[in-house]
Homo-oligomer: A and B are copies of this chain.
Amino acid sequence: MPRIFATYRIRSDAASIKARADAIAVEQSVEMPVAAIVDAGVKADIVGRVESITDRKDGTFDVVIGLATATTGLEAGQLLNMLFGNTSIHDDVVLHDAEFPATVVAAFGGPRQGMDELRRRVGAKARAMTCSSLKPQGLGPDALAAIAGRLAKGGLDYIKDDHGLADQAYSPFADRVRACARAIAEARTAGGVETQYVPSLSGDLDRLRRQVDQARAAGVDTVLVAPMIVGLASFHALVRANPDMAFMAHPAMAGAGKIAPAFLLGTVFRLLGASATIFPNHGGRFGYSPETCRAIATTSLRADGLRTTVPVPAGGMTVERVPEMLDFYGRDVMLLIGGGLLAAGDGLVEATRAFTRQVAAYAR
C-alpha cells in the first residue's frame, strides 16, 4: 500500500538532522529500538522511512517521512496520532504538511457538500459569500433570535453561532436553534434574503447527534463544529452519518504553529469533510501572515478530486476591509464579520446591509 508522506519542519543544525529525522520516523511508527524488531515484515512495511531531508538555510530542515498507511486503520483520530501524536510533544518540530495516497483520500472522502452547494443554498452564483456570528454569549434564545433576525435583514448568506454558544443553562441548544432558525426563516419569508442559520454543535457524539437532529428539525442544513475540540473522530462520524449536511469547521484549539494551519485547517479538515473552514485573517486579532492565509485558501480549493472547501477568513474583520479581502481571496471565499457588525449597535441592519451590498457589488 502506498505510504503517507508527512513533512516535518525541524529546528536543527546540519550535524544533528539525520539522527533527529530517524528518531521521528521511529517515534511515529514502531516507537521502539529498530534493532530489537525481529519481524521482517514490520521492518520493511511498518517502520517509518526518511524519504528526504532539505536544508531550508534558516536553521530549519524539511524532513519527509513515509508512514505506513496501514497503521492509521483509516480512522481519523488514529491518522492524527500516527502523523503527530508523540512528536507534538517535542518543541523543535512542526507538522508542516502531508500527502495522502488515494486509499486515504477515498476512505475519508472530503466534503459531502462543497463550495458549489454552499453557493446554491444562498443563491450566490459567482460572488463571494458573507457570514456573521451570533453574539454575545450569555443572552437567552429570544435575545439571540432578535439579533439573528436583524442580521438576516441585512442580507447575509450565513449566520453562524459564536463558537462559544454551546448548550448552556441560559441558552439551551434546542431552544436557541428553534428560536434563531425561526427568526431567520421569517426574514426569508419577508423577502429579499436567502439567509441560512448555522448553529454550533458541541459535546460528545451522542450530544452531537442529538443536536444535528434538533437542527434538522428546525429546517437547518448547515452546522458549525470545532474539530479539534470535539475530536477528529467525532467530526468525521458526524460527516459520514449526515451527508446532506454542510459542516463549517472552526479553528478553536488549533494551536499556534505546532501544526501548519494550511495543513490542519485546509488539508485535514477538508479531507474529513468540512464544507467551509474558518481561519483568522491576516491583520486581525490573530497572528497569521498573508502567506499562511493564502496557503489555507489554496489547500481548501485544490483541484484534487475532492469537493472544495470554502475558505472563511475571519477574526476582527471590518466592513472597511472588504475590498482588500476580495482582492486578496477572489470570489471563492466567504467573508465573516462578527463583532465588527455588532459594534454598530442600533445600526446593525444598516451595517450588515452595507457589508452584503459591498460584496455583491464587487467585481474584479
Instruction: Return the chain B residue nearest A258 by Cβ.
Output: B255
Q: Of B30, B168, B254, which is within 8 A of A88 by CB?
A: B254
Instruction: Return the chain B residue nearest A38 by Cβ.
Output: B345
Chain B residues with Cβ below 8 Å from A77 are 202-204, 226, 229-231
Chain B residues with Cβ below 8 Å from A27 are 285
Q: How many residues of A contact B (CB 8 A)?
A: 85
Within residues 110 to 136 of chain A, which ones have a CB less than 8 A from any CB in chain B?
A: 133, 135-136
* Interchain CA distance A254-B90 in the complex, whole Å: 10
* Interchain CA distance A356-B86 in the complex, whole Å: 26
Kindly specify which of A41-49, A150-158, A185-193 makes contact with the partner chain.
A41-49
> A255 touching B255 by the CB < 8 A rule?
yes
**A96 → B minimal CB distance (Å):** 15
Within residues 249 to 307 of chain A, which ones have a CB less than 8 A from any CB in chain B?
A: 251-258, 280, 285-287
> B81 touching A202 by the CB < 8 A rule?
yes
Interfacial residues, chain A to chain B (CB-CB below 8 A):
23, 27, 29-33, 35-39, 41-42, 45-47, 68, 70-73, 75-78, 80-82, 84-86, 88-92, 133, 135-139, 143, 162-164, 166-170, 202-207, 226, 229-234, 236-237, 251-258, 280, 285-287, 338-339, 342-345
Copies of this polypeptide in the complex:
2
Chain B residues with Cβ below 8 Å from A45 are 138
> A85 touching B229 by the CB < 8 A rule?
yes
> B137 touching A256 by the CB < 8 A rule?
no
> B81 touching A32 by the CB < 8 A rule?
no
Which of A46, A133, A203 is the most central at the interface, judged by chain B CB atoms within 10 Å of its CB? A203
Q: Of B31, B168, B237, B258, which is within 8 A of A70 by CB?
A: B168
> B342 touching A32 by the CB < 8 A rule?
yes
Could you tell me the dominant secondary structure of chain A's interface residues? loop
Instruction: Return the chain B residue nearest A83 by Cβ.
Output: B253
**A8 → B minimal CB distance (Å):** 13
Instruction: Return the chain B residue nearest A167 by Cβ.
Output: B73
Chain B residues with Cβ below 8 Å from A81 are 163-164, 166, 202, 226, 229, 252-253
Chain B residues with Cβ below 8 Å from A88 are 252-256
Instruction: Return the chain B residue nearest A91 by Cβ.
Output: B256
Chain B residues with Cβ below 8 Å from A91 are 256-257, 287
* Interchain CA distance A256-B256 in the complex, whole Å: 11
Chain B residues with Cβ below 8 Å from A231 are 77, 204, 229-234
Chain B residues with Cβ below 8 Å from A92 are 287
* Interchain CA distance A169-B202 in the complex, whole Å: 31
**A304 → B minimal CB distance (Å):** 25
- CB within 8 Å for A36 and B345 given contacts A202-B78, A203-B75: yes
**A141 → B minimal CB distance (Å):** 13
